[in-house]
Amino acid sequence: MTDRYAGKPFLRLVDSYVLDAIGHLDSSAAATLTSMEPQLRATLGAEGSWREMVESRMQFPEGMQGAIREVWEKGRVRFVAAQGHEPDPHEFTRTFVDTKFPH
């Protein structure tokens, strides 16, 4: 299996953004991203928090995190009804990002 992020470091930020939007970004990853903000600002030539940098670079409209969360919540209900168990938030993130934001 290949590394999803090989040669695509920004993809990790987009995945983290989606996980954050659906409430499944673990606290240590969130803390790491927050601590990396100065380096990200320098590397990306951007301002703001890591979330704001993702939104700016991806040209997301205002309210994007809420829209992603809505897709997750509605899809989660359908998934549980069909499969009988909770969906994997990491699999949702990979599928969502790969489908909505091909890289």
What pLDDT does 2 receive? 61
- Within 10 Å of residue 73's Cβ, how many Cβ atoms? 11
Distance CA 33, CA 49 (A): 9
CB 57 within 8 A of CB 44: yes
Write out residues in the chain with pLDDT < 70, as ranges. Answer: 1-2
What pLDDT does 80 receive? 96
What pLDDT does 58 receive? 96
What pLDDT does 79 receive? 96
CB 51 within 8 A of CB 37: no
Distance CA 12, CA 101 (A): 13
Residues with Cβ within 8 Å of 14's Cβ and at least 6 positions away in sequence, in order, are: 54, 58, 97, 101, 103
What pLDDT does 52 receive? 97
Alpha-carbon dihedral sign for residues 85, 90, 95, 100: positive
What pLDDT does 103 receive? 77
